[in-house]
Amino acid sequence: MGAHFTRHVKRNLVAYIALLPMAAVVIFAYLGTLAWSVRLSFSSSRLLPKNDFVGLSQYVDLFDTPRWLTSLGNLVIIAFFFLLICFILGCLLAIFIDQNVRAESLFRTVFLYPYAMSFVVAGLIWQWILNPDLGIQQTMRGLGFSGFVLDWVVNPKMVLYAIILATVWHGSGLVMALLLAGLRGIDSEIWKATRIDGIPTWRVYLSIILPMLRPMIITSLVLLSISIIKMYDVVVAMTNGGPGTASEVPAKFIMDNLFERANIGLATAASTVMLITVMFIMAPVLYFQYFRKSGSSS
Amino acid sequence: MTRVTPPTIVVKRPLSYQEVWGRVGIYAFLGMLALFFFLPAYVMLVTSFKGMDEIRLGHIFTLPQQFSVDAWVKAWTSACTGLDCTGLRVGFWNSVKIVVPSMTLSILLGAINGYALSFWKVKGANVLFACLLLGSFIPYQVFIYPLVRVYAQAGIYGSLPAIVLTHIIFGMPVMTLLFRNYYSGLPVELFKAARVDGAGFWKIFFAIILPMSAPITIVAVIMQVTAIWNDFLLGLVFAGRDNLPMTVQLNNIVNTTTGERAYNVNMAATMLTSLVPLTVYLVSGRWFVRGIASGAVKG
């Protein structure tokens, strides 16, 4: 093996050298920082990193912190409604656009443009529209509906729905675009066959077409889930976590504790919890979507 | 684009009563949602051309009575972040300075990685690649603090090289995947023939592979320009005070002002910040969708 391996390396030496930057990025920037982050979560680090070992006490503290629990609860609510609405809306848009409509490209452009804009912009726009003093509420009152109330961004009970609205506006075009691409790839024979059998169109979509689009559906849901777990900018721009802590999210909790509250141990414990959550969601998806299909792809 | 009705079999006949209402329903649904999606852009646009007196009346949907571009000029040249009243142009140029090197280097590295992964036999390369892909799913928050420490040790924290390097690191999974998938669809005979002729790694890359990479490079440029331009978190943490990208400066202008908020200036600033990705989106059309679809780690 020794001589053989040496010959193999020699023949492909430049390729090995060319992949060094990637190796360095994986080993240092991804694995190394990840290990360090997890390590810090077991220390008592505050403003500066410490090398002591305090067991799980940061995690115990973390789940005693009301702000963190609020953040987690908020994320669950936002993610649930965000994914559900984006999925339903994206499906409906794709299916309706697929009915040979005129001005199709205009519709596609309008539904997807928010996805091209940054989350900061999305947050700021909706903060402005939902602003009770000058936005829709004021406009409706000006039109004579004096009891009209739309105060989501300043109402602790409704603020999460304001964020859901902004993120749905931003993200549902993605589902539409991916599903529409999938719908265009459906064999027209299937449509002919179902027409001959006299199956109603909605039934065909629900029981035949959508199951066939499963790869696109999973892709879009994975992309959206990742974006919602990472969600930070839209909250900072729209509410900055307020009113009070009503719209705090985990990503923001971590950033605040890292850079403003100087509580590195707690922040890294929180980021480790996020890491584990993502891995739990991703492991089955990755296994079925990527590793199993490609097998030993070398 | 109007799609031509499918040929042959279709027999022209007047639509039935039910079908007519079906069409009406389809257009009504799409039209209403199109309004909902378009509404924010419309409100931003009309507000940015109004004066503050008009905005205070609270009619966000009406067209400007007195059309004025003052807010745009102010947003660009003299909007304030804190005490600093130099306008959004500073952020714009910072973003350009960040996007150009980050995009170029991450695309080049992605192409090299993809090429080495698809055509060359490097032991352990696929394991590295799998780790890289996994890394792309993990929230930035896990990596940020150690990176800050490393950069601080190296003396580059809060500088242009730091933010460029960070974008290269976090752009690498998608860029590598993009080029790897594209290259594995190229005929391998081409590569083998060049090998037989004695061409080496770089010779084959620059003479054969790179000239065939135009379509995927366009997709990569679209993805990286929008992603890096729209980034907020990394710019906020790594770029440093002197290089804050446009998105961060926009948020500072809008959310840190004291006194009465100049909504028209804010709206103009928001529009200005989205101008680059919006232009990319409108010009690139279907390429943009292709980027989303192929950039996704998918089955």
Query: What is the number of CB-based contacts under 8 A between chain A and chain B?
Result: 280
pLDDT of residue A250: 94
Average pLDDT along chain A: 88
Tell me the chain B residues in contact with residue A286 when contact means C-beta distances shorter than 8 Å: 133-134, 137, 297
pLDDT recorded at residue A88: 95
| Nearest-neighbour CA in chain B from A63: distance (Å) | 18
Angle between the N-to-C axes of helices A264-286 and B125-135, in degrees from 0 to 180, rounded to the nearest 10? 120
- At residue A175, the pLDDT reads 92
Report the pLDDT averaged over residues A91-96.
94
User: Is the confidence at residue A112, as pLDDT, over 60?
Assistant: yes
Q: Is A15 on the interface with B (CB under 8 A)?
A: yes
Angle (CA) A219-A224-A229 rounded to 5° is 130
How far lies B256's CA from each of A133, A236, A237, B240, B266, in Å? 19, 12, 11, 18, 11
Nearest to A254 by CA among B237, B238, B136, B231: B237
Looking at residue B42, what is its pLDDT? Answer: 92
Q: Report how far residue A111's alpha carbon sits from residue A225's, in angstroms, rounded to the nearest whole number.
A: 19
Q: Over 60: is that where the pLDDT of B5 sits?
A: no
Do B232 and A118 count as a contact with CB atoms less than 8 A apart? yes
State the maximum Cα–Cα separation within chain A, in Å, rounded to a whole number: 88
Listed in sequence order, the DSSP H helices in chain A are 2-11, 13-18, 20-24, 33-40, 57-62, 66-97, 104-116, 119-130, 136-142, 159-184, 188-197, 201-204, 210-212, 214-229, 233-238, 250-259, 264-286, 292-294
B285 to chain A: which residues are within 8 Å by CB? 105, 109
Chain A residues lying within 8 Å of B229, measured CB to CB = 118
Inter-chain residue contact B1 with A107, CB threshold 8 Å: no
Tell me the pLDDT tens digit for each residue of B248-287.
Answer: 999 998 887 666 778 889 999 999 999 999 999 999 878 8
pLDDT digits (tens, 9 = 90+) for A230-273: 899 999 999 988 888 899 999 999 999 999 888 999 999 999 99
- The confidence score (pLDDT) of residue A148 equals 80
| Residue B295, pLDDT score | 56
Test B113 with A254 for CB contact under 8 angstroms. no
pLDDT tens per residue across span B174-198:
999 999 989 988 888 988 899 888 8
B298: nearest CB among A89, A264, A289: A289
Chain B positions touching A217 (Cβ under 8 A) are none
Q: What pLDDT does B7 receive?
A: 53
What residue type is B231 in one-letter code? D
Give the number of other CB atoms < 10 A from CB of residue A225. 18
- Chain B residues with CB under 8 Å of A113 CB are 37, 41, 278, 281-282
Looking at residue B15, the DSSP 8-state letter turns out to be: P
For residue B3, the model assigns a pLDDT of 53
Is the distance from CB of A47 to CB of A258 less than 8 angstroms? no
Mean pLDDT of the A192-214 span: 86
Partner-chain contact A289 B231, CB within 8 Å: no
- Token pair for B149: 């420490």
Confidence check: pLDDT of B167 > 70: yes
**Who's near B206: CB < 8 A, 6+ residues apart?**
none
Confidence of residue A298 (pLDDT cuts 50, 70, 90): very low
The residue-averaged pLDDT of B196-221 equals 91
Torsions phi, psi of B142, nearest 5?
Answer: -70, -35
- The confidence score (pLDDT) of residue B297 equals 45
Which domains, and CATH codes, for chain B?
A: 17-68 (no CATH), 89-295 (1.10.3720.10)
Helix extents (H) in B67-187: 70-77, 89-119, 125-135, 141-154, 160-183
For residue B275, give the chain A residue with the closest CA: A117
Q: Is A181 on the interface with B (CB under 8 A)?
A: yes
Does the structure show a pLDDT above 60 at B159?
A: yes
Conformation bin of residue A224: beta by default, left when phi > 0, alpha when psi is -120 to 50: alpha
Residue of B nearest to A28 (CA): B147
Read off the pLDDT band of B63 (50, 70, 90): confident
Q: In the structure, what pLDDT confidence band is assigned to residue B299 with cuts at 50, 70 and 90?
A: very low
Whether residues B126 and A298 touch (CB distance < 8 A) is answered with: yes
Q: What are phi and psi of B84, to 5 degrees?
A: -90, 110
Residue in chain B lying closest to A230 (CA): B139
| Residue corresponding to tokens 């492991």 | A283
Peptide bond just before A243 cis, omega within 30 deg = yes
Percent of chain A with pLDDT over 90: 49
Contacts 24+ apart (CB under 8 A), A33-36: A33/B142, A33/B143, A33/B146, A33/B147, A33/B150, A34/A275, A34/B135, A34/B138, A34/B142, A34/B143, A36/B146
Cβ separation A134–B55 shorter than 8 A:
yes
pLDDT given for residue A189 in this prediction: 86
* B217, two tokens: 């490079």
Query: Which member of A26, A114, A229 has the closest CB to residue B37?
Result: A114
Euclidean distance between CA atoms A220 and A83, whole angstroms: 10
Q: Across the interface, which of A19, A93, A297 has its CB nearest the CB of B113?
A: A19
Average pLDDT score over residue span B152-158: 94
For residue B163, pLDDT beyond 70: yes
Q: Which residue has the higher pLDDT, B42 or A154?
A: B42
Q: Do A113 and B116 touch (CB under 8 A)?
A: no
Q: List residues bridging with B81 in a β-sheet.
A: B84
**Contact state of A89 with B293 under an 8 Å Cβ cutoff:** no
Under an 8 A CB cutoff, do A16 and B122 touch? yes
For residue B66, what pLDDT band results from cuts at 50, 70 and 90? confident
What pLDDT was estimated at residue A291?
Answer: 59
Dig out the tokens for A8 from the structure: 């193999």
**Residue A88 forms contact with B (CB below 8 Å):** no
ipTM of the complex: 0.89
Chain A nearest-CA distance from B140, in A, is: 7
Predicted confidence (pLDDT) at residue B62 exceeds the cutoff of 90? no
Residue from B103, B297, B289 nearest A218 by CA: B297
Confidence of residue B128 (pLDDT cuts 50, 70, 90): very high
Chain B contact present for A225, CB below 8 A: no
Q: Give A127-161 pLDDT, tens digit per residue.
A: 988 888 777 887 888 777 877 878 888 888 899 99
What's the pLDDT tens digit per position in B86-112?
A: 889 999 999 999 999 999 999 999 999
| CB-CB under 8 Å, B41 with A271 | no
CA dist A159 and A169 (Å) reads 16
pLDDT of res. A201: 83
**In the predicted model, what is the mean pLDDT of residues B10-19?**
69
Mean pLDDT of A178-191: 87
Go through the domains of chain A in sequence order and give each one's CATH number: 67-294 (1.10.3720.10)
- Choose from A3-12, A17-26, A193-202, A221-230 the range with maximum mean pLDDT: A17-26
> Which A-chain residues 184-213 have CB contacts (< 8 A) with chain B?
none
